[in-house]
């Protein structure tokens, strides 16, 4: 005697398999949606990071242009000072040269996007290893850039402080003209060992060359991220 009618089993198995398949599709679909959402979140955060990197490049390039103009003016004034022809240097050139010392300050800039990436773990959702590598490298280079910029500024500020403490510079001194006042300040600067050393030994230009190389590296890595579709 048959315990079950074959017709019953025939109708049961398709329904059973449909239920199982539905469960698999449901949970698999949810996983696909979750993974897709993570990918989208990572893409948005990388987009924020890119905006921060572009902001760094804009700020730093402006700063480097200012430093480059300052060191160029310093060299012109230093040569004229050595030849005792400082009076022939234009007033604007003297002001630019002195500004590198008396107006410099250290700045630390860190991309907000990199911090968000670190905290959120969004890079884990990025499947392209070259993108992960480039983003990480860019973050490290930018951090190093601003630390070194602060170090350079600290060296300049330290030399300036030494000049003040030496008593060589009387900040209240006013010559018969603004040009004469600027000449006096530059001669005082060149009379200080630390200040003159930063000009004659080329320490500042070496920093600027390093900063330019860093930004070139950042641009190259940023291109990799863009070419990957981010």
Q: Distance between CA atoms of 44 and 29, rounded to whole angstroms?
A: 22
- Residue 30 — very low, low, confident or very high, per pLDDT cuts 50/70/90? very low
For 217, the 3-state DSSP assignment is helix
pLDDT tens per residue, range 133-180: 998 899 889 989 988 988 888 888 888 888 888 888 888 888 899 999
- In the chain, where the domains are located: 8-227
- Which range is least confidently modeled, 84-93, 104-113, 163-172? 104-113
* Sequence-distant (≥ 6) Cβ neighbours of residue 122 within 8 angstroms: 38, 41, 42, 45, 46, 116
Q: Is the predicted pLDDT of residue 183 greater than 90, yes or no?
A: yes
* 229, HSE (Cβ side, Cα atoms, 13 Å): 7
Residue 218's alpha-carbon distances to 30, 122, 141, in angstroms, are: 38, 21, 7
């Amino acid at each position: 005697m048959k315990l079950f009618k074959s017709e019953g089993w025939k109708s049961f198995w398709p329904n059973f398999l449909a239920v199982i398949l539905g469960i698999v599709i449901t949970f698999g679909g949810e996983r696909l949606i979750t993974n897709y959402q993570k990918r989208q979140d990572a893409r948005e955060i990388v987009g924020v990071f890119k905006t921060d990197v572009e902001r760094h490049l804009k700020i730093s390039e402006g700063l480097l242009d200012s430093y480059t103009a300052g060191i160029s003016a310093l060299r012109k004034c230093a040569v004229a000072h050595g030849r005792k022809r400082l009076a022939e240097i234009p007033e604007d050139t003297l002001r630019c040269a002195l500004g590198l010392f008396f107006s410099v300050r250290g700045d630390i800039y860190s991309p907000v996007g990199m911090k968000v990436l670190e905290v959120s773990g969004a890079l884990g959702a990025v499947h392209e290893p070259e993108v992960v590598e480039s983003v990480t490298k860019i973050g490290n280079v930018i951090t190093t850039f601003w630390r070194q910029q602060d170090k350079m500024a600290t060296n300049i500020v330290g030399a300036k402080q030494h000049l003040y403490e030496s008593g060589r510079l009387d900040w209240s001194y006013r010559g018969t003209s603004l040009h004469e006042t600027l000449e006096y300040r530059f001669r005082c600067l060149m009379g200080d060992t630390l200040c003159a050393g930063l000009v004659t030994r080329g320490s500042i230009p070496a920093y600027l060359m390093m900063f330019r190389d860093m930004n070139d590296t950042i641009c190259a890595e940023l291109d990799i991220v863009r070419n990957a579709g981010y």
